[in-house]
Chains A and B, each alone.
Chain A
């Protein structure tokens, strides 16, 4: 026999429904945690990432002995935490002699590890070390701009991967409507060399320029750091295909007879029913076309007895 397990309270039901798979997903939540050993730098990095994403992230403060994302069997408890906290992004910090100030950024799909990138943190500068007008400080949860500079993000596999993960990590929720007054932060990522990325967080100042578009000014507010890519693991092809699926319900409906062109824009086809020439009403009816007359004429030709009607003056 089967037993049905349902939540006992309304609240529990709401929580479960919130976590269920959806057509249009919520913003991804981030889990921030660390391994057995962390350095001061790493602690600060993790805390500041948490501060940047305070609205939708969970930070664990205990040591985790058995999390090793790249090794088989080392991901079980990470996947469990992801399920427990409903997070699909994670930032895992660890510090060892071989890999000092190590940061593993990764994503999960259906609470199983999707992909991983391991970076080392160098030249870290915390938020506190920057001095700026506090009025400009970005609001929590505001939609950030992203700037990626450098050919490395296209040419080098690892950096390309890192770019995608950084974008996923910091972009927040996908929105349809955006308030332009709320734009106040930029993430600037620069590929300095083939394995090094300079990442910094800037506040945005909108200045009047006289036109509709304001003049943008960046003020560095931190944190800023160099990320040196170490190991990375791309997603499995099948898994990737599965995860990239989009809902057929959400695809825009195909509009009939309308096509678009890059140069000429929108095209429309109009179908007009076949014109029935024979049945159109003529503006002038010739007398000779009248049927009786034609028939009469035919008859007259046969009989040779045509009685002519007196012609009326027109």
Chain B
């Protein structure tokens, strides 16, 4: 009967005797403690009676019971997580009944005859991997198709980023932003509102003031100084004269400078027009595959290919020309005026060392006044 009066919360392993009353406060501390412990033992025994009678499963460490949820309700630590609102795409897909299907991670790449990842590094059908683009009649003159491709890709990425941001903004309005994302306003996007002015540091102000002060023809020499203004750090113009007479050491500096600029220009142009190394590489890879297949048919010694391949790679990286036969045919085109016409400038047939081809194309680009637009591999 006595156990009936206890309130037991098994989820918290708690017992509460709400009827116990100290008739008179015990005179000594020891008495009080003893009485408490006795009463406590009774209550703990009451909890244990309920606890040990729960269905249990035997484990190596001891019997394990499933506790009921606590009946004493205690407040939460943090608010309940809110559900993320659907994105625009999710809404659209639901309306249309579009369901997502799982895609394979690996995709067969026809260009290289291998399985490659769908996304990421060394991906299949990579835009950057295309060495040659066929010219169309509708192409605008003077436009670099490679650059155009890159720009388009960049635009698509930016567009998606914009959409992502918009969806996140929607989520933040509801208060259901993913915990690892924080939106920080760099400036207010609403029209008619001005962004909060950024505080300019003292150093920055000094820099700007100094620049303005020295922006006259005399370098600020005759300007009136403001009270407290410091003299400019560098009073004179930055000029450096190189020796006029040619020679070794300092004498060859001017020549080196001009060479540097020229080289930069040439290399820049060549990069824009054609990724020559890539083109040659791809060609070589294809050729290797073809040859290996043919060899496999005739002698079936695939192991023979491996060391050969290795040695080639090494030499190519080092830049030492080891004899390696390549047969190629290029047609170099150039534009005629502003019309949409291409004119065949020159046709090259190559048969020989691959490194030679690269050097030849580079030299061609440097020497000729025309710009090569496309190289066709026949």
Contacts and interface: CB of A to CB of B under 8 A. Distances in A.
B79 to A, nearest CB: 6
Contacts of A244: 73, 75-76
Interface string A240-253: 10111101000000
Interface stretch (B11-19, B307-315, B337-345): B11-19
Contacts of A182: 61-62
B358 interface: no
B297 to A, nearest CB: 49
Contact of B45 (A17, A111, A190, A215): A215
A212 B40 CA distance: 20
Interface residues of A, number: 77
Question: Which of A21, A108, A146 has most chain B Cβ within 10 Å?
Answer: A146
B76 A218 contact: no
A137 interface: no
A42 interface: no
Contact of A220 (B18, B33, B59, B76): B33
Contact of B18 (A7, A154, A240): A154
Contacts of B20: 149-151
Contact of A2 (B63, B73, B78, B183): B183
B245 interface: no
B58 to A, nearest CB: 10
B25 A235 contact: no
A111 B77 CA distance: 8
Interface stretch (A57-65, A66-74, A198-206): A198-206
Interface stretch (B64-72, B131-139, B213-221, B322-330): B64-72
A2 B36 contact: no
A190 B36 contact: yes
A179 interface: yes
Contacts of A7: 180
B18 A192 contact: no
Interface stretch (A170-178, A266-274, A277-285): A170-178
B78 A1 contact: no
Given A192-B22, A216-B48, A21 B184 contact: no
Contacts of A175: 67
A240 to B, nearest CB: 7
Given A20-B81, A216-B48, A4 B36 contact: no
B33 A200 contact: yes
A188 B165 contact: no
Interface in A1-52: 1-7, 13, 16-17, 19-23, 25-26, 28
A123 to B, nearest CB: 7
Contacts of B53: 212-213
Nearest to A248: B80
A269 B334 CA distance: 88
Interface in A204-255: 204, 212-218, 220, 224, 235, 240, 242-245, 247
A109 B22 contact: no
Contact of A16 (B13, B29, B48, B180): B180
Contacts of B56: 180
Contacts of B79: 21, 109-110, 242, 245
B78 A25 contact: yes
A181 interface: yes
A243 B76 contact: yes
A124 interface: no
A262 B61 CA distance: 36
A306 B79 CA distance: 91
Contact of A213 (B17, B43, B52, B77): B52
A89 to B, nearest CB: 9
* Chain B interface extent, by class: 35 or more
B12 A167 contact: yes
Given A149-B43, A215-B45, A220 B37 contact: yes
A92 interface: no
Given A114-B75, A188-B37, A213-B53, A145 B44 contact: yes
Contacts of B72: 164, 167
A281 to B, nearest CB: 48
A147 B168 contact: no
Interface in A124-156: 143-151, 153-154
B27 interface: no
Nearest to B195: A1
B179 A20 contact: yes
B109 to A, nearest CB: 30
Nearest to B63: A180
A235 to B, nearest CB: 7
Contacts of B62: 179-182
A72 B27 CA distance: 41
A88 interface: yes
A148 B42 CA distance: 12
Contact of A224 (B33, B66, B168): B33
Contacts of B29: 123
A2 B64 contact: no
B40 A198 contact: no
A179 B47 CA distance: 15
B199 interface: no
B74 interface: yes
Contact of A179 (B18, B48, B59, B182): B59
B14 A167 contact: yes
Interface string B64-106: 1111011011111111110000000000000000000000000
B149 interface: no
A145 B181 contact: no
30 contacts: A2-B165, A2-B189, A3-B185, A3-B186, A4-B165, A4-B184, A13-B180, A16-B179, A25-B77, A28-B77, A109-B76, A110-B79, A111-B78, A114-B75, A143-B13, A144-B13, A147-B15, A149-B20, A150-B18, A154-B16, A164-B74, A167-B72, A174-B70, A177-B67, A178-B67, A193-B25, A200-B36, A204-B44, A218-B37, A245-B76
Ranked nearest first, the 8 interchain pairs of A and B with the lowest CB-CB distance are: A181-B62, A20-B179, A243-B75, A146-B14, A5-B182, A21-B78, A188-B40, A88-B77
Interface of B: 11-22, 25, 29, 32-33, 36-37, 39-41, 43-45, 47-49, 51-53, 56, 59, 61-67, 69-70, 72-81, 165, 168-169, 179-187, 189
